[in-house]
């Protein structure tokens, strides 16, 4: 039950993308609209979908047609009974049971995306307040730029992404990889597609099956891969002299942000009719 946005800034070089299932389609509309209006983005957009939206009439809505948004379908990931038996019992916030579609993010590292030089990925539901170009301009070769999940204290480490109560799997994981390091959120990622190799997606899937104890679904596995196996992660710049770029939430009411994942205070919110993508009403 996840939705994300993949954006293409230049048809040959840059791609921005969303990824969603039917349950989060309204959030796709919300963030995509903000991307185009507040974010001043006028490039190509790709929406990655799973089986429940494949060829669905929802994909004929105005915002998709009017902006020539490309739809890319990847089949839902199938999990073995052994994986589910272990994963369903891990100590987590229950997203392992209620948000299994988050695993679809592994497809963002499919060889398909090497058609473009750089990918800018956003979770749907992110709030965009102003021009996104300062973020895009941070693009770095052979690098995955993202926001540390432990910011600003950096007390959390990669080992906190995995269920330590399953001692068999965690001990093996801890003995194999360096888990006492910083890691990143998969809510916003800006990366060079040179980090994607022909077997990257399959390697991520193999890690998922080998260590079925990620408490945050795909986030723990993607972070493990791009910090230990193919080290590419760097903390994206948090701000310039004028504005803060992205954070999960506002740290200071006086800070101006380009994007926030969530907002603490109620603000004017736009609601959309999922069927025709028109604005229904506003609330304060």
Contact (CB, 8 A) for 121 and 16: yes
Q: pLDDT tens digits for 51-103?
A: 999 999 999 999 999 999 999 999 999 999 999 999 999 989 999 999 999 99
Mean pLDDT value across the chain: 90
How far apart (Å, rounded) are the C-alpha atoms in residues 20 and 72? 11
| pLDDT attached to residue 282 | 26
**Could you give the C-alpha distances from 36 to 71, 128, 160, in angstroms and in order?**
17, 9, 36
Q: Domain limits at 173? A: 3-283
Place of tokens 């983005």: 41
With a cut of 60, say whether residue 283 has pLDDT above it. Answer: no
- Chain-centre distance for alpha carbon 41: 18
- DSSP letter assigned to residue 161: G
Sequence length of the chain is 284
The tally of domains found in the chain comes to: 1
Contact (CB, 8 A) for 134 and 20: no
| pLDDT attached to residue 43 | 82
Tell me the CATH number at 200: 3.90.550.10
- Does the global pTM surpass 0.85? yes
């Amino acid at each position: 039950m996840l939705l994300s946005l993949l954006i293409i800034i230049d048809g040959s070089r840059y791609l921005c993308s969303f990824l969603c299932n039917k349950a989060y389609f309204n959030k796709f509309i919300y963030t995509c609209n903000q991307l185009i209006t507040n974010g001043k983005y006028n490039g190509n957009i790709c929406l990655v979908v799973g089986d429940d939206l494949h060829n669905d009439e929802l994909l004929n809505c105005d915002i998709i047609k009017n902006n020539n948004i490309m739809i890319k379908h990847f089949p839902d990931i199938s999990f073995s009974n052994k994986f589910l038996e272990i994963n369903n019992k891990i100590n987590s916030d229950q997203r392992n049971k209620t948000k299994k579609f988050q695993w679809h993010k592994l497809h963002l590292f499919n060889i398909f995306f090497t058609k473009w030089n750089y990918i800018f990925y956003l979770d749907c539901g992110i709030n965009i307040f102003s021009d996104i170009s300062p973020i895009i301009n941070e693009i770095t070769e052979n690098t995955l730029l993202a926001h540390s999940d432990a910011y600003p204290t950096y007390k959390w480490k990669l080992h906190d992404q995995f269920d330590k109560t399953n001692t068999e799997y965690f001990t093996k994981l801890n003995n194999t990889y360096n888990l006492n390091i910083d890691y990143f959120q998969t809510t916003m990622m800006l990366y060079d597609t040179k980090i994607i190799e022909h077997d990257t997606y399959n390697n991520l899937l193999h890690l998922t099956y080998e260590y079925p104890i990620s408490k945050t679904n795909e986030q723990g596995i993607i972070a493990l891969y791009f910090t230990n196996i193919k080290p590419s992660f760097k903390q994206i710049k948090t701000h310039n002299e004028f504005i803060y770029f992205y954070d999960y939430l506002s740290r200071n009411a006086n800070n101006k942000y380009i994007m926030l994942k969530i907002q603490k205070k109620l603000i004017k919110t736009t609601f959309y009719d999922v069927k025709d993508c028109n604005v229904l009403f506003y609330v304060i």
